[in-house]
Amino acid sequence: MSENKITIIIPVLNDVDALKILLPQLQPCREQGHELLVIDAGSSDGSIPFSRNLVDRILMTGVGRGRQMNLGAENASHSILLFLHADSRISENGFEQLLAAMSESENHWGRFDVQLDQAGFSYSVIATMMNLRSRLSGVATGDQGMFVRSRLFHRVGGFQPISLMEDIALSKALRKHHRPVCLSSKLITSARRWEQQGIVKTIFLMWTLRLAYFLGAHPDKLAEIYYPAVADNGNGGADN
């Protein structure tokens, strides 16, 4: 297992349009010896045929982003794991910053600053607040591109088998070893959640769910609230 190489793990479910943007961008990484895994949960939109020649391996599993990412981690060839959503894009110096950060400590883990892919003051404020919240709380979310050493990931038990908040649960476990490294390099991610559901409604929903989780609500119960809410807006595959 290479200590200074990255395995990029992308959980996929009917994400072919996003993959058409992301995977070509990641080809220079493969040429440098980094590994690219797509973990598919039963896509029917052409995600698998499109990905076949642009990734090192495609693995299949059942629905559940935590399950998908755990399978990717179990099959990773390299020591550094980067969990990346299909609708994300990494800035040009992102991998350089990531490798520099991970060379400093075995217990380092972290995420990128996020930037939404829509212009406008409201979207800029949302991204700024997401990044500030993460710095203050020491909690990262999946749409910020979480990265961690494989040994530390497995030491804390990986992603929990829960329907929602698996990224927050992992952050809290990792935070016991080290606070996250917050890279200034931007991870550009889709603003579709806020576009389709509305900015105020989306913020209210996500903060309500996170407060309920903090107070002890079971993630499966929260998923029963979250997924019908996003499905009503035609966005059943929204990030959590």
Q: How much is the pLDDT for 230?
A: 53
pLDDT digits (tens, 9 = 90+) for 90-149: 988 999 999 999 987 788 899 999 999 988 898 999 899 999 999 999 999 999 999 999
pLDDT digits (tens, 9 = 90+) for 22-60: 999 999 999 999 999 999 999 999 999 999 999 999 999
CATH class of 2-191: alpha beta
Q: How much is the pLDDT for 236?
A: 37
Distance CA 114, CA 144 (A): 6
pLDDT digits (tens, 9 = 90+) for 208-225: 887 887 777 877 777 777
In order of 94, 123, 239, the CA distances from 118 in angstroms are 20, 7, 16
Sign of the dihedral through C-alpha 170, 171, 176, 181:
positive
Q: How much is the pLDDT for 239?
A: 39
Q: Is 165 left (phi over 0), alpha (psi -120 to 50) or beta?
A: left
Whole-number average pLDDT of the chain: 88
The set of residues, in sequence order, having a beta carbon less than 8 Å from that of 196 and lying 6+ positions away, is 233, 234, 235, 238
Under the banding of pLDDT at 50, 70 and 90, the label for residue 238 is very low
Q: How much is the pLDDT for 169?
A: 93
Phi, psi of 18 (to 5 degrees): -70, -40
Distance CA 23, CA 212 (A): 36
Q: How much is the pLDDT for 234?
A: 39
Q: How much is the pLDDT for 227?
A: 67
pTM value is 0.88
The set of residues, in sequence order, having a beta carbon less than 8 Å from that of 161 and lying 6+ positions away, is 64, 66, 67
pLDDT digits (tens, 9 = 90+) for 143-178: 999 999 999 999 999 999 888 889 999 999 999 999
Q: How much is the pLDDT for 97?
A: 94
Residue 233 pLDDT exceeds 90: no
